[in-house]
Chain A
Amino acid sequence: MTRRALIGLILAVAVMAGTAAAQDKPVLLWGADAKADAPYAFIDPRDQRTLVGFEKEIIDAVAQRMGRRAQLVQNDWATLVPGLNRHLYDVIINGLEITPNHEEAVDFSIPYYYTYEQLAVRIGDDRFSNLAELAGQKVGTLKASLGERILEKTGNIVVKVYDDEVNAYGDLANGRLEAVLMDYPIALYYGAPNPAVRLVGDPVGRIRYGIAMRKGDVELQKQINQALREIINSGQLRAILERWKLWTPMMADELNDFSPSNAVPVDYDKFMAETAPLTGWRKILMRYIGFLPLLAKGAVVTLEVSILGMMLAVAAGLFLAVVRQYGPRLASIAAVGYIEAVRGTPLLIQVLFIFYGLPNIGIKLQPFVAGVLALGLNYAAYEAENYRAGLNAIPSGQMEAAVALNMTQMQALRHVIVPQAFRLVMPVMTNDFISLLKDSSLISVITMSELTRTYEQLSTTYYDYFGTGLLVGAVYLLIGLPFVRLARWTEERLKVDSHTGHRRTAGTPSASRTPAMVK
């Protein structure tokens, strides 16, 4: 496959991803991080193709009232506001608090939810029921949340900040923390279900969630407020919240709606039933079997990214090796510089730089494209070194014979040298592909739903890092297996070749010509 074709393919994938949906209603793009955070907006554990959550339902209802169709744009939580200002989406709805700080960066709708911070302690530990009693103790909360600000303000509390609520409650359960303070919905969905954790004390503080839009987007703000008022007045908002067990006394106060609630929290119950720790191997087995479609999907993404990445690595690596070996001096120096720079820096940094860094100079890439590029460009450097060893292993008489037959250097490379070098480097290349397959787990950091990401998502949803870990490991082994066999086979073949001299230049001893293993 030529380089041009490869680039075309990558572009085609990018375009496809960008034009996935085209329906009649105008679209309202909303940004959120739909990773694993119930109950806001998250992937349904039972059906991995479906997005659920109370915020998802609210924005759907709002969009409907506006005569539009809501469509999610996945974005990391930490960079939601920059994404909004870069016009990746029209609004943010993702538990974004209305605070003076945030109001400097974005405009907010009227609040769609009022809530508070909820304290949680270990079951059987009756020492603490409010913040004052926690002086000198370790308390966990989420990074950059109201909980963190409240804990800092309280003073003499040792604040431990987490990226992930599951780990915070896990550390509370196993005694690394004495208490955890988090937004009530999170405490309800992640703290309360933990058999070692209980929620205690009165509401702490007051939080307002609002829909954020770009500064000065007045017309949109007006429309959204209008739609929000309609779903509040019609009781639609309350119905949504009740189904998710989020209708609290505070909400009743704020919306001045004190009618008794009879609604069953069906969505809450479903989520709890789905994610509850199971007993009995049959049930556990059934759950793991239920994971298989999702794992298969992740495996396909992993394979796609790896294969495209390797194709890019092979093409770019060959180009680099040839330029380094046969190109003009300056180009050769540039190739060496590239190879050394890429091999001397961590792949993770390169992945983050390509996805989050390049937009600073106007290059915005889809996660899939960024992943393929990062892996491909990184492995290109290693492949270039591999091919250099291969090119060096071809006896110089081959180039001479080609030149004597009046081929140009390019013709000689293309028809004589490179095809032979390729055979020599096949075993190393196949092994490199297996490494790349495993390194592709690093692109889970750029929101690609590949295998490792699937592992994180499943394990945080089901509080099960152990069983899912074994399962995902097995899937990696399984998809790598054919390539391990291929590597063996190419090694065997090369060994046979060098014993018999088959397909090698006769008259030149080949034992000393096996390519150096460069990695």
Chain B
Amino acid sequence: MENLETPQPAATDAKPILTAQDIVKCFDETAVLKGISLNIAEGDLVSIIGPSGCGKSTFLRCLNFLEIPDSGSVTIDGITISRTGADQQWDSATAVQARALRARVGMVFQSFNLFPHKTLLENVMLAPMVVKRQERISVEDRALELLKKVRLGDFARRYPSQLSGGQQQRAAIARALAMAPKVMLYDEPTSALDPELVDEVLQVMRDLDKDGMTQIVVTHEMRFAREASDYIVFMQDGEIVEIADDDEIFQNPKDPRTRQFLRRFMEGAKP
């Protein structure tokens, strides 16, 4: 299969914390993911780019089983879930595995998906209290710390609707971090934001990168992808076309499809 020949980036010194093996996903007979494999090392910041509908968001959602892949396997921090085909049942044992896996993954959505009936502080505190049954006092201290980290310390008692999109997305990041994930997934985190609000979100992600967080970002922000990523994955039609160092892919893309996508993109039109 073509994707097996997909070039992997030069092995870094760190061990892989996330491995996706041959992920296939179909919606109504249409193959959205045609067998995707990817290794991500601890502490890496990886951007996934590609035209709309190329399957990059679906791939991201397969990594924490919001979308259940038809076949393939995902390993995150030692937890592996393998799927043999679309007809394989999603039994309760697998569901338990999926929860163990999700405990190691945080996710940030394009539309933030903050809980509108709760304050920012409550948003951040909810999952640790409900899922991990941690004590309110320690959870609250940690939540305030996280909000401070994303520069929302003064907004802890506000409701999401009282905040700008950028502030909401930063709160969503804090909420994900509260579960102490090993890997953060971002699904177009800045696409719903006004341009002047994009940077404050990207800055938080840069800060996390400095702290050594492993992050996978599906994005249209080419500047951010180029500046901040350790490397870039280019996807098209459900396949990984090219994985390359940021400068390499922008200055000298190997695959003609990558070249075409980037040329069109640089000409100004958002894909």
Q: Identify the A interface with B (CB < 8 A).
A: 395, 397-398, 400-408, 411, 415-416, 419-420, 423, 500-508
Contacts and interface: CB of A to CB of B under 8 A. Distances in A.
Contacts of A423: 117
Given A506-B112, A506-B160, A507-B192, A405 B127 contact: yes
A506 B117 contact: no
Given A411-B130, A503-B116, A508 B111 contact: yes
Contact of B130 (A403, A404, A415): A415
A405 B126 contact: yes
Contacts of A419: 117
A396 to B, nearest CB: 9
Contacts of B179: 405-406
A91 B165 CA distance: 77
A417 B168 CA distance: 19
A405 B109 contact: no
B40 interface: no
15 contacts: A395-B111, A397-B111, A401-B107, A402-B115, A405-B131, A405-B175, A406-B131, A407-B127, A407-B130, A407-B131, A420-B117, A501-B161, A503-B161, A505-B113, A506-B116
Given A415-B130, A420-B116, A503-B161, A400 B99 contact: no
A423 B159 CA distance: 15
A339 B113 CA distance: 32
B267 to A, nearest CB: 28
Nearest to B106: A404
A403 to B, nearest CB: 6
A87 to B, nearest CB: 50
Contact of A404 (B107, B161, B165): B107
Given A407-B127, A407-B130, A506 B165 contact: yes
Nearest to B132: A406
Interface residues of B, number: 31
B66 A404 contact: yes
Given A401-B113, A406-B179, A507 B165 contact: yes
B64 interface: yes
Interface of B: 64, 66, 99, 102-103, 105-107, 109, 111-117, 126-127, 130-131, 159-162, 165, 168, 172, 175-176, 179, 192
A507 B172 CA distance: 14
Nearest to B115: A416
A506 B115 CA distance: 10
B131 A503 contact: no
Nearest to B111: A507
Contact of A397 (B106, B113, B159, B176): B113
A505 B111 contact: yes
A400 B185 CA distance: 13
B131 A400 contact: no
Nearest to A396: B113
A503 B159 contact: yes
B102 A504 contact: no
A411 B126 CA distance: 10
Contact of A507 (B103, B112, B127, B176): B112
What are the 10 A-B residue pairs with the smallest beta carbon separation, nearest first? A401-B113, A405-B127, A404-B107, A397-B113, A507-B111, A406-B102, A502-B161, A406-B131, A503-B116, A411-B130
Contacts of A398: 113, 115
B115 A404 contact: no
B117 A400 contact: no
A506 B107 CA distance: 18
Contacts of B162: 502
Contacts of A402: 115, 127
A401 B130 contact: no
Nearest to B110: A507
Nearest to A409: B95
A397 B109 CA distance: 8
A481 to B, nearest CB: 29
A400 B116 contact: no
A401 B116 CA distance: 12
B168 to A, nearest CB: 6
A147 to B, nearest CB: 67
B113 A502 contact: no
A404 B172 CA distance: 12
Contacts of B126: 405, 415-416
A403 B101 CA distance: 12
A405 B168 CA distance: 16
B64 A404 contact: yes
A397 B113 CA distance: 6
Contacts of B175: 405
B115 A406 contact: no
Nearest to B172: A401
Contacts of B127: 402, 405-407
B180 to A, nearest CB: 11
A504 to B, nearest CB: 5
A400 B66 contact: yes
A507 to B, nearest CB: 4
Nearest to A394: B116
Contacts of B109: 397, 400-401, 404
A496 to B, nearest CB: 11
Nearest to A419: B117
Contacts of A406: 99, 102-103, 127, 131, 179
B238 to A, nearest CB: 21
A425 B218 CA distance: 36
B161 A500 contact: yes
Nearest to A403: B66
B206 to A, nearest CB: 22
Contacts of A400: 66, 109, 113
Contacts of B115: 398, 401-402, 416, 420
A285 B165 CA distance: 65
Contacts of B102: 403-404, 406
B255 to A, nearest CB: 32
Contact of B116 (A403, A405, A415, A504): A504
A251 B66 CA distance: 89
